[in-house]
Structure 1
């Protein structure tokens, strides 16, 4: 979901290209055309006519403001960073989690507190807990989440029924997960024809396991907190993979086969966005919170509406953000992307729900997970967290030991974080 940052040399090359020819057709400042103020808004998704309706709806409410979409489908974070440096950034930036704190500290984006204080479109106490925690950590409100995604435990109800295993629930622990995986694994001779659980394919699951085992992942000072929780997570997943042999080894290179979707794994831990992918599954399935260890934990994923500090039309930029965070704007986003609003009152309407014929039904898992989910690892440069996941997988493949990861790879990652700053 997140692509790694580019090197300093690459950034300099991009800056030169921006200065000479512009980047993605964006405008550095808003322009007045035919009596209208034109503001630019950037996002990574390509919008067709059906998905651009939130811009049309805003322009109908504010006929004096035109919104120019700056679509950056590849290398989004890198290009936005370069555009900020080059003075060509859009008026409204949909910023990644790993960027917002750095943008705030550098003065690239404005705090929104003065606007929020006057708005009647929403209230800050309506947001899920993690948003309040992040705002408190930043000192001010620099961005508002356009929606959110998280991570779940998916399970094949038909396989559970056939094995006589009770379905997962919010009280499930790692031990419950392991015992169920053992019962659900089927072997024919030396061949495993049904896995109790699929391998970890999404990096966020590793960090959610580490968080569940007690580590904060990223502390209040922005430093990595990966120690005993990481050790427990590595030991647990290694046991599932190489001792119990109820989960296959991680894929290395090439495309990852989704064994759950293929009906060859009874459980998988993955992002909430897979609900849309799984809705056409031929078997009955459902969702549950990720199993807990020391605590319940899941990673949150979103983007934040922010205002470029160099924008010449900040009031118009705020009006666009205000609309997007209103009941109408949030409902439109939920329906388009099948993700719930980070505003609890809007999420309660269920606009994000897209069920298939065979599942899911446990929609309250979103609400339960939102109570304990946190941004955690997504606040760090994704190239660093992805590199660490390669180290985690190397343990499962027998190429590294746990102590090497904790005492060598994690400190190395921390040095890289400090270097990036």
Structure 2
């Protein structure tokens, strides 16, 4: 134990030393610009968007502020280590899948006083559900940047050969099953989809279910709607659907790789894959549609946003940068270059620039025509304008939920267990662990008081 503590202390000391040249202490001053830092993840060539476009323009508009840029690999661990060492970047790009846990641990600065202040932003210009994912304890902890969606990819050539109409928003669960059966020919599988609680989540919403009760600390997965969703998910395990538990069982290849080679007619995955599929298979004729509906239309989303570190010594300057990175023009430019996730603002989503995807020369292809935009991206505004997506599953205790939900899904798919029975058992486990977590947190708070 002593050795582990010593190694941990040494790691933090090394990390602090490595930042000496990167982040000297910022002292209170009356003249000269202040320096703040920001961090991102992603492909290294994406850095140009920040270093050559965003930061120079921000510094031009704010001559009293300088921005030091960091691109981190192993992003989550690097940010957490920097917080542990007291040297966190001032503005941090985060994703709601993990940021709510960081907020709960006190890593992010509450922003309501800035968002709602004289130098604030118009909340109404953002897709409403995104604010829900940033709220905790009555405050808001980020500025939305984008939103991604799960959709139905389809191979137009295979549909044409089968004499079938392309998927659209009118498709139902029954249509999906029927099409998968008709499109399964020879070595081609009608529908491919990853296995587990992750891909199961949109079916819960389509069945009219939800993951959390209103209290946010007990799960609602024992409802009849969730059981119905799991029964339908189980029904997809047949010869015309490849519901694969692990990509390692197929040589490390996911559904998108088989889709690119014409071995899969349809698959379910995220909007972020569209540019990479076009690049990898430039001759592939494909489109996307909203996920088929059950009792209602729905998919699931995630989102990236800009948070301000609770350790920042320049909160006003950090807020200005977070606000700038979430402005309409910045979001348009982000989408036009990368087009992996739609912009978080209605003003960007409804703009003409949204339809003019340029890509990044040599890195990401653009969109060549309005017809191509309609087939690959036209479904996105349709889903968002109609409110057909949810991030309700995001919660400080989502990790507890997903652990036992995955177990329940496995039991139904592998052991033919009754969905209602295993979901009720999973609820008991989830609620018990969350109650224990809350009790431990309260005890720790009392001990630290």
- TM-score of the pair, normalised by structure 1: 0.83
The match for 1:60 is 60
The match for 2:443 is none
Deviates more, 1:161-170 or 1:357-366: 357-366
Deviates more, 1:134-143 or 1:206-215: 134-143
Larger radius of gyration: 2
Are 1:224 and 2:227 counterparts? no
The match for 2:32 is 35
Distance 1:256 1:226, change over 3 A: farther
The match for 2:153 is 154
Are 1:412 and 2:429 counterparts? yes
The match for 1:179 is 178
Quote how far apart the aligned CAs of 1:318 are.
Answer: 0.9
Quote how far apart the aligned CAs of 1:343 are.
Answer: 0.3
Distance 1:261 1:142, change over 3 A: same
Quote how far apart the aligned CAs of 1:372 are.
Answer: 2.4
Partners of 2:62 and 2:390 lie apart in 1 by 35
> Contact conserved, 1:42 with 1:90, CA < 8 A, in 2?
yes
> Contact conserved, 1:284 with 1:359, CA < 8 A, in 2?
no
Partners of 1:267 and 1:360 lie apart in 2 by 19
The count of aligned residue pairs is: 405
Structure 2 counterparts to residues 187-266 of structure 1, below 5 A: 187=186, 193-200=187-194, 204-220=198-214, 221-227=216-222, 228-242=224-238, 245-252=239-246, 254=248, 255-258=252-255, 259-266=258-265
Distance 1:303 1:31, change over 3 A: farther
Cα shift readout 1:89-126 (whole Å, capped 9, x = no counterpart):
22112233144444444543232222223457841111
Distance 1:249 1:202, change over 3 A: closer
> Contact conserved, 1:196 with 1:247, CA < 8 A, in 2?
yes
Quote how far apart the aligned CAs of 1:65 are.
Answer: 1.6
Quote how far apart the aligned CAs of 1:127 are.
Answer: 0.9
Match of 2:381 among 364, 367, 385: 367
Cα shift readout 1:340-369 (whole Å, capped 9, x = no counterpart):
211011122244744368945243311122
Partners of 2:90 and 2:42 lie apart in 1 by 17
Partners of 2:38 and 2:273 lie apart in 1 by 27
The match for 1:342 is 344
Partners of 2:27 and 2:154 lie apart in 1 by 52
Cα shift readout 1:200-245 (whole Å, capped 9, x = no counterpart):
2686432111221222123441443323344223322322223xx2
Are 1:276 and 2:290 counterparts? no
Q: What are the ranges of 5 or more consecutive residues in structure 2 without an aligned counterpart?
A: 358-365, 439-449
Quote how far apart the aligned CAs of 1:313 are.
Answer: 0.4
The match for 1:6 is none
Partners of 1:39 and 1:278 lie apart in 2 by 37
> Contact conserved, 2:135 with 2:141, CA < 8 A, in 1?
no
Quote how far apart the aligned CAs of 1:287 are.
Answer: 1.0
The match for 1:50 is 48
SS at match of 1:323: helix
Partners of 2:26 and 2:436 lie apart in 1 by 34
SS at match of 1:273: helix
> Which of the pair is proportionally richer in helix?
2
Quote how far apart the aligned CAs of 1:29 are.
Answer: 6.5
SS at match of 1:376: coil
Partners of 1:367 and 1:121 lie apart in 2 by 26
> Contact conserved, 2:197 with 2:409, CA < 8 A, in 1?
no
Deviates more, 1:356-365 or 1:315-324: 356-365
Q: What are the ranges of 5 or more consecutive residues in structure 1 without an aligned counterpart?
A: 1-8, 188-192
Distance 1:28 1:72, change over 3 A: farther
Partners of 1:269 and 1:348 lie apart in 2 by 25
> Contact conserved, 1:195 with 1:264, CA < 8 A, in 2?
yes
> Contact conserved, 2:34 with 2:66, CA < 8 A, in 1?
yes
Quote how far apart the aligned CAs of 1:178 are.
Answer: 1.0
Quote how far apart the aligned CAs of 1:152 are.
Answer: 0.6
Cα shift readout 1:364-385 (whole Å, capped 9, x = no counterpart):
3111222221213344567556
The match for 1:190 is none
Over the residues paired in the alignment, what is the CA RMSD in angstroms? 3.4
